[in-house]
Structure 1
Amino acid sequence: MSEIAKQIAGLSPEQRAALRKRLAKKQAEDRNRVTRRADADSYPLSFIQERLWMLNQLEPGPLYNDYTAFRLTGPLDVPALERALTEIVRRHEALRATFPDDGGKIQQVITPAPARMELPLVNMRGATEQEVTDRAREEARLPFDLARGPLMRAKLLRLGEEEHMLLLTMHHIVTDGWSMGVLLQELGALYGAYVRGEESPLSELPIQYADYAAWQRENLRGEALERQLSYWREQLRGAPATLELPTDRPRPPVQTFNGARHYFELSADLTNALRGLSQREGATLFMTLLAAFNVLLSRYTRRDDIVVGTPVAGRGQAEVEKLIGVFINTVVLRTRLDGAPTFRELLGRVRTMTMSAFANQELPFEKLVEALRPERNLSHTPIFQVMFSFQVPAVGGSNEFAGLRINSLDADNRMSPFDLVVQLTEGPETVRGRFQYNTDLFEPETIER
């Protein structure tokens, strides 16, 4: 008998039970930890990557381009900026992924890191603001080839001696909103180091996105998958297939994605009032604004059963927080307004519903669609057609490094993936928002009202 076995044999029944409990907990933690996979020629896609690949086949073009524009003010070291971008592409395998179709089997292939990432410099000195905006929009709308890559590109516009605009565009299959925050943070650290003649201050990443994709495929199956599916089947039982907003034009037989945006801002007084109400009712500002938005949708549709989608970060494991990749998931939020509830009563319903939904957010939206098998209709998206998004900005405002001031700008590619998207951003004093809407359904005047 080994020394360890003797020690275990000497434990009391209570101590042995406690040991088994600790071992079971450690095994569960190990299962939930994303670890480095073995090197291979190709790797599986995550569930959202698989869906995005399919959607790209149905609607090839710029619809799933993620893009941003940074205004750079101050003396710019272009070689240092190019070197920083090259290092980011080397660090994050997701930015080097391609998705070739091998006889119907889609895998992601990680291409070698480039010796130098191209950063074309376009001279736009003397250009008008509209000309610069048009150039940025043109860049955002250029499609990607998922099979060949690369799926990230950069372009630098020179507006003046110390005024530039950096345009970054990536396909959504390799990035999300959180990733842009990671990229900006690394860009600042690397650029500053290279300007000073130093090497990269960033430690190597212990895992990569492909590790997460393999982990997700391995862990989300069997009992774990069925437990989540059971909740969502019950939650969405009998839910309406569409949210019939009154449109200015008939819905086309095949969904289009032409879009526009309308911006607005809630005043400081209204924002403070909403925060106060949220605090008194034990709700978050997100819940309060969602409840108000549901009232608006209910009045326009004359329905008391409202279904919308909302994005969540999808980064439940600490080890993936510093990765660039597409982790974002969509959670379906169903609100019942039957029984003529007061707003406080409705807020209570929304609070309970959202807490329950977020507790079951691990199920990829792609698996939910697959399980529910909603009747397919090419004229609209399945399960929901309106997206409600609320965030405290991780990217935005002003950043400064190595004497360079960075301001992120909102580039508009004039597209909309849903009938209507409402995006709200909480600031220190006010809430800023925008409606992104399908222009084949709605006139600008309707949205403005």
Structure 2
Amino acid sequence: MSNEREADRAAQLRRAIRLKKAAAARRAGARRDAAAGTDDSARTGGSGSLPPAPRDAPRRLGELQRAVWLAHQLAPGDPAYNLVSAWRVRGTLDVATLERAFQRVVARHRILRSTYHGDGGEVSQRIAPPSSAAELRLERLVVAAGVSAEQAAVGAAQQPFDLGRGPLVRCVLIEPAAGAPVAMLVLHHLLADERSLEILWAEIAELYADGAEDAHPRAGNAGAPRLQYDDWTHWSRSRLEGAGADADAVAARREAERSLRSRLDPPPPAAGLPYVATPSPAAGSRAAAPGARPGRLISHRVDAGVAAAVRELARRCACTPYAVYTFAFRLLLDRTLPDDGPGDGPAADQDVADAAHAAADARAEHVFGTPVSLRSHPATRDMVGYFLAPAVLTAGVDSTRGTEEGLGAWNASLRRALADAEAPLDRVLEDLPAALRSGQPLLQLFFVHQQLPAARGLGDATLEPLLLDLGSAKFDLTLFVGERAPGAASAEPGGEPALELALEYRSDRFDAAGLERLLNHYRTVLERLPHHRGRLGELSMLGDDEAAALDLWQRGAELDAGSQPLLPQRIDAALADAAEREAVVGAGERWSATRLRQEASRVAAALRR
């Protein structure tokens, strides 16, 4: 899960706002101190400094890692939180050099040598010495004939991690009987986010190119970053707790918690997607781990012109493509999960339209989440760790507005939601007892926007990205929008797509055919939204084939009697012959055959509209 480009921009914006507020607060404080005859110039360690954690400081689980830790405790064998980066290898690979490069990268980063241990409500981090990386081996799996490299890769990626024993990172090479090998990094999500995977592969490629022989892992952690993830978690905690807490950071956290709490009170209802699965013995082909959520991943490739049109719409509305993609997801949910809000349909008169506009920022009936990167400090940009927090998107869409006006209002609400992402969701929910009593998870629906990985070099070999379905799902439904950077080089003969859509869903809850339609509907919304000139409520999510089928169903099939008249035609002919004879008697009325034909024709015409 990432949204790296948009989330990093949002994080930088939040940090700039905090620094501006902090500077204003310091100026105000200096004026107060001057009036009181004191000097504040000796204070050090403002919000911009991130020092290494003291050597004797306890290493504890980071706040952002807490939800992942709890999810693992509920289902230790669930592969949903196995973070996988798989690549198809084209060309010759030096296995020994790859293993040495992997060992050196693990030696560099303390979090890759960590295990986690619960003790009396606290979870501590234990870090093995750099020399322990020399004990790691690249796992080589030789695949028998008849088994594809992808099938073997899925099986290897599904293997669970023991957070208390480790190691929590694996490097795997799948060698099939025929076809290209597959190279993988598999980590527990507690250690890293998708941005971290990019950092690790870049380091592996650099060390591989150098032969990975200038320093053996037992010799130490040469090239290790001065600041690492445990330094950041200690710094983050110290800014909010204890005598040295940063007053500005504490105030900003409280404001984010207040804002998020107000948007979630009262708690939203459970999302009821209509595509309910029919239980069958074949519904789950893979045996799920105890407590795991069986899932499936489906994906569609989208023409590059759609991404270009989205970027142009974003430019016109002074927002980002990420805002457009989330806006389209909200529109899709409004069609799929209708509510009774003021924005459900075209306004009947001006008073209704004014009321709908006034409620444009009101909460939608159903909320969804999106991951936000909290790499706001410059030192975290190239740091390996888990920096993701969920932003809860609660705003609705006024369907009486046009596309650009509606998108502008959505973008404003989106920015507010991203700013609230620093508030710890679990603690906010503790203040909303109704949310805990409901028995339903708050976030059942998720949206993820990410940069599609491009092919990369590894010595003389080329690595092509490979998407794997691990047969598990973190949430009921997650929509992924993967965007290819404009001008990215193609590694496929037919060219890589500029956009890829994917749905990860609970296969024990939802019907596969229904979710395929849902993904098609989202693609249709994306295709039409940039060019839509009417009200948002008039934007259809149906494809041409679906629209034609619906029109046929509404009108009824054309009758072709051939040589023998069909039953409807015979009834109509009999009523015509009967003319003024009584055909219906009841409820104090007597209808002639002619009157019955007229009423039947009126009802049929109304049904066809």
* Structure 1 partner of 2:322: 286
User: Aligned partners of 1:131, 1:378: CA distance in 2, in Å?
Assistant: 44
The answer to whether 1:84 aligns with 2:101 is yes
* Structure 2 partner of 1:409: 466
Aligned partner of residue 46 in structure 2, secondary structure = helix
User: Aligned partners of 1:228, 1:409: CA distance in 2, in Å?
Assistant: 38
The answer to whether 1:60 aligns with 2:60 is no
The answer to whether 1:204 aligns with 2:224 is yes
Give 1:413 deviation, angstroms.
0.5
Superposed CA offset, 1:59-83 (max 9, x none): 2212211112122222222121111
User: Aligned partners of 1:258, 1:29: CA distance in 2, in Å?
Assistant: 47
The answer to whether 1:388 aligns with 2:447 is yes
In the alignment, is the contact (CA less than 8 A) between 1:53 and 1:173 conserved in 2?
A: yes
In the alignment, is the contact (CA less than 8 A) between 1:42 and 1:110 conserved in 2?
A: no
User: Aligned partners of 1:151, 1:70: CA distance in 2, in Å?
Assistant: 20
Which of 47, 52, 56 is residue 63 of structure 2 equivalent to? 47
Aligned partner of residue 196 in structure 2, secondary structure = helix
* Structure 2 partner of 1:31: 47
* Structure 1 partner of 2:159: 142
The answer to whether 1:431 aligns with 2:450 is no
The letter of the residue matching 2:303 is S
* Structure 2 partner of 1:238: 266
The letter of the residue matching 1:155 is V
The answer to whether 1:341 aligns with 2:361 is no
Which of 508, 511, 531 is residue 440 of structure 1 equivalent to? 508
Query: Rg bigger for which structure?
Result: 2
User: Aligned partners of 1:70, 1:59: CA distance in 2, in Å?
Assistant: 28
* Structure 1 partner of 2:476: 419
In the alignment, is the contact (CA less than 8 A) between 1:45 and 1:107 conserved in 2?
A: yes
The letter of the residue matching 1:34 is L
TM-score, scaled relative to structure 1: 0.85
The letter of the residue matching 2:469 is D
In the alignment, is the contact (CA less than 8 A) between 1:45 and 1:214 conserved in 2?
A: no
Superposed CA offset, 1:299-354 (max 9, x none): 11112514111111221111112221111111111122356333333212211111
User: Aligned partners of 2:153, 2:257: CA distance in 1, in Å?
Assistant: 42
User: Aligned partners of 2:103, 2:172: CA distance in 1, in Å?
Assistant: 13
Aligned partner of residue 381 in structure 1, secondary structure = coil
Aligned partner of residue 334 in structure 1, secondary structure = strand
After superposition, residues 97-112 of structure 1 pair within 5 angstroms as 97-112=114-129
Unaligned runs of 5+ in 2: 1-26, 242-249, 280-289, 342-363, 487-496, 518-609
User: Aligned partners of 2:402, 2:226: CA distance in 1, in Å?
Assistant: 51
Aligned partner of residue 43 in structure 1, secondary structure = coil
Give 1:131 deviation, angstroms.
2.8
User: Aligned partners of 1:198, 1:105: CA distance in 2, in Å?
Assistant: 40
User: Aligned partners of 2:199, 2:71: CA distance in 1, in Å?
Assistant: 26
The letter of the residue matching 1:122 is L
- For the aligned residue pairs, the C-alpha RMSD in angstroms reads 3.1
Aligned partner of residue 118 in structure 1, secondary structure = coil
User: Aligned partners of 1:75, 1:25: CA distance in 2, in Å?
Assistant: 60
The answer to whether 1:398 aligns with 2:426 is no
User: Aligned partners of 2:235, 2:135: CA distance in 1, in Å?
Assistant: 31
In the alignment, is the contact (CA less than 8 A) between 1:309 and 1:387 conserved in 2?
A: yes
In the alignment, is the contact (CA less than 8 A) between 2:75 and 2:292 conserved in 1?
A: no
Give 1:41 deviation, angstroms.
8.0
Unaligned runs of 5+ in 1: 1-12
Aligned partner of residue 463 in structure 2, secondary structure = strand
Aligned partner of residue 174 in structure 1, secondary structure = coil
Which of 118, 125, 133 is residue 137 of structure 2 equivalent to? 118
Give 1:291 deviation, angstroms.
1.4
Aligned partner of residue 173 in structure 1, secondary structure = coil
The letter of the residue matching 2:445 is V
In the alignment, is the contact (CA less than 8 A) between 2:145 and 2:178 conserved in 1?
A: no
User: Aligned partners of 1:19, 1:162: CA distance in 2, in Å?
Assistant: 73
Distance 1:148 1:363, change over 3 A: same
In the alignment, is the contact (CA less than 8 A) between 2:153 and 2:174 conserved in 1?
A: no
Larger relative contact order, structure 1 or 2 (CA cutoff 8 Å, min sep 6):
1
Distance 1:347 1:63, change over 3 A: same
Which of 172, 195, 220 is residue 240 of structure 2 equivalent to? 220
Q: How many residues align?
A: 426
The letter of the residue matching 1:439 is S
* Structure 1 partner of 2:599: none
Which of 347, 350, 353 is residue 410 of structure 2 equivalent to? 350
Distance 1:160 1:135, change over 3 A: closer
In the alignment, is the contact (CA less than 8 A) between 2:429 and 2:435 conserved in 1?
A: no
Give 1:392 deviation, angstroms.
2.4
Aligned partner of residue 144 in structure 1, secondary structure = coil
Give 1:379 deviation, angstroms.
6.5
After superposition, residues 259-408 of structure 1 pair within 5 angstroms as 259-303=295-339, 304=341, 305=364, 306-338=366-398, 340-373=400-433, 375-376=435-436, 380-382=440-442, 384-393=443-452, 396-408=453-465
